[in-house]
Chains A and B, each alone.
Chain A
Amino acid sequence: MTKVKGQRKGNTMEEKKSISDKIKELDMAVDWFYSDEFSLDTATEKYKSAIKLAKEIETDLDSLKNEITVIQKDFTKE
């Protein structure tokens, strides 16, 4: 495959979790605050984690680039 110039992936350290995964995690955290499991004792800790996750998502959204590759197989010669 050929990588298209200038479209390399940005943040390789975050490859384990995609932005979508992180957004889903944040949505679940938000759901917890409105569930029966909500308790003020643990809410502060969860709130801090959610803020950290939100910052990560914002950073990812700003920095992550798409990786566009053109398959080397020549379909025009089929």
Chain B
Amino acid sequence: MDEDFFAEIDAINEKYKQEKQKKQEIEKYSVSEFLDLVNGTLEYAYTGVVVEGEVDSFKVNQGKWVFFDLKDKDGATVSCFLPVFQLRVPLEDGMKIMVKALPKVTRWGRFSLTVKQIMPVGEGSIKKGFELLKLKLEKEGLFDPARKRKIPENLVKIGVISSTQAAGYADFCKIINSRWGGLEIQVAHTQVQGMNAADQMISALRYFNEQAEVQIIAIIRGGGSADDLAVFNDEALAREVAGSRIPVITGIGHEVDESLVDLVADIRASTPSNVAEMLTADKGAEKIKVVRNIREIGNRITQEIEHLQGELNSKLNRIQDEAEHKIDTAIEQVRAKEKLLNGLNPDRVLKQGYALVSGDIIEGNVVKITTFEALAEAEIIKVKERKE
């Protein structure tokens, strides 16, 4: 029994050896096939390797292809390659960067990294990349104040691009909920730092522009190191923000942090909380305003009533003045006439010693004589013509 078993095992091993030998004899590769095999193995083993190093021998060939070496302090070097349209951060020799790439052996047998993404690393490199790209975008007019749009009126629908786990997002929600209500806020959850963040935010921007009915898009990210915020200097992301159909407001980092995305956005807020403040009125202040408005229109009615009362009083006064004036005039006229009449009163003349003779002045005729104090009768004895 045991002998049969071992004989069977030996037979299997022999068969395996023969098959292996046969296979090895068959598996001869052409150079291209071998390179394909190697590249397939590399691709399987390293789906997206991230390598950090310093840029050296940077050059652009025929305006289409970018070549550079990445080296480290130990002198190790690896060649890198990418099409120029994928270069989203300006590079210069000496800049420290991080690349996400696929390792590959070229048809000429040279090992290189086919770069998919690049991010500057370290404050100096980030600043250098920022300044170079800022200059480029500025020349294109992407920061022109004339391009900037205002926050839409009657804001109800807001799109937010942020990481929902980020502290900045929590601050934004807290402030906006405390300040205002009735808003419809759609949130696109994306990474806001790291190699993939820019592409995710670009995708979210396209989603809002193509599929969502929002009036403004807010890009929110709390404070962080220069490395954390480097993604907001990505050229493709900056261009996507600049080309957004819907106005974009940014609240990235703190007041002192300035990114290219901030510069191309329509409105820049200093922080995520500040975005919430800029997008909404404060409900407390609004209540005070409403009360003040009501008080003002109440005052306006009172003011109008007082004004009308004033006008009425003025008219009554005028009527009274006019009436009094007419009465006074009449009284004066009466008094003048009275005075005139008094002047014509015969008694007044009689009182001065004169006498009134009534009757025909004919000799022999009896006339009546009236003095102030007495009445008498007298006979006309003689009449003579008076000569002056």
Q: Which of A21-61 contact B (CB under 8 A)?
A: 21, 23-24, 26-27, 29-30, 33-34, 38, 40, 43-44, 46-47, 50-51, 54, 57-58, 60-61
B154 touches A18 (CB 8 A): yes
Q: How far is the CB of B225 from chain A (nearest CB, A)?
A: 21
A47 touches B298 (CB 8 A): yes
Overall SS of chain B's interface: helix
B-side contacts of A74, CB under 8 Å? 189
Q: How far is the CB of B261 from chain A (nearest CB, A)?
A: 16
Q: How far is the CB of B166 from chain A (nearest CB, A)?
A: 13
Q: How far is the CB of A43 from chain B (nearest CB, A)?
A: 5
Q: How far is the CB of A70 from chain B (nearest CB, A)?
A: 5
A19-B189 contact given A44-B301, A47-B297, A54-B294, CB 8 Å threshold: no
B183 touches A66 (CB 8 A): yes
Of B42-50, B98-106, B197-205, B363-371, the one contacting chain A is B197-205
Task: With CB as the reference atom, state the residue of chain A lying closest to B155.
Answer: A20
B290 touches A60 (CB 8 A): no
Residue in B156, B183, B188 whose beta carbon sits within 8 Å of that of A71 in the complex: B188
B-side contacts of A29, CB under 8 Å? 297
B-side contacts of A63, CB under 8 Å? 181
A73 at the binding interface (Cβ < 8 Å): yes
A71-B291 contact given A20-B154, A61-B286, A78-B200, CB 8 Å threshold: no
B72 at the binding interface (Cβ < 8 Å): no
Residue in A30, A66, A70, A78 whose beta carbon sits within 8 Å of that of B180 in the complex: A66
Which interface residue of B190, B199, B283, B293 has the most chain A CB atoms within 10 A?
Answer: B293
A1 at the binding interface (Cβ < 8 Å): yes
A-side contacts of B207, CB under 8 Å? 71, 73, 75
Q: How far is the CB of B291 from chain A (nearest CB, A)?
A: 7
B154 touches A24 (CB 8 A): yes
Q: How far is the CB of B18 from chain A (nearest CB, A)?
A: 48
In whole angstroms, how far apart are the Cα atoms of A68 and B294 in the complex?
33
A-side contacts of B274, CB under 8 Å? none
A-side contacts of B176, CB under 8 Å? 66
Residue in A24, A60, A78 whose beta carbon sits within 8 Å of that of B181 in the complex: A60
Q: How far is the CB of B283 from chain A (nearest CB, A)?
A: 4
Overall SS of chain A's interface: helix
B294 touches A50 (CB 8 A): yes
Q: How far is the CB of B170 from chain A (nearest CB, A)?
A: 12
Task: With CB as the reference atom, state the residue of chain B lying closest to A1.
Answer: B186
B-side contacts of A30, CB under 8 Å? 293, 296-297
B-side contacts of A34, CB under 8 Å? 300
A75 touches B190 (CB 8 A): yes
Q: Which of B132-158 contact A (CB under 8 A)?
A: 153-156
In whole angstroms, how far apart are the Cα atoms of A71 and B183 in the complex?
16
B244 at the binding interface (Cβ < 8 Å): no
B304 touches A38 (CB 8 A): yes
B182 touches A69 (CB 8 A): no
A69-B185 contact given A21-B154, A47-B298, CB 8 Å threshold: yes
A26-B301 contact given A64-B182, A67-B183, A75-B204, CB 8 Å threshold: no
In whole angstroms, how far apart are the Cα atoms of A65 and B182 in the complex?
5
B-side contacts of A7, CB under 8 Å? 177
A-side contacts of B183, CB under 8 Å? 66-67
B188 touches A26 (CB 8 A): no
B290 touches A71 (CB 8 A): no
B316 at the binding interface (Cβ < 8 Å): no
Task: With CB as the reference atom, state the residue of chain A lying closest to B280.
Answer: A66
Q: How far is the CB of B66 from chain A (nearest CB, A)?
A: 23
Residue in A50, A58, A67 whose beta carbon sits within 8 Å of that of B287 in the complex: A58
16 contacting pairs across A/B (C-beta < 8 A)? A19-B180, A19-B181, A20-B156, A23-B286, A24-B154, A30-B297, A43-B301, A47-B301, A51-B294, A57-B290, A62-B283, A63-B181, A66-B181, A69-B184, A75-B200, A76-B190
- Contacts A34-B300, A50-B294, A76-B191 supplied; 7 other A-B pairs, CB < 8 Å: A30-B297, A40-B301, A40-B308, A64-B181, A65-B181, A75-B203, A75-B204
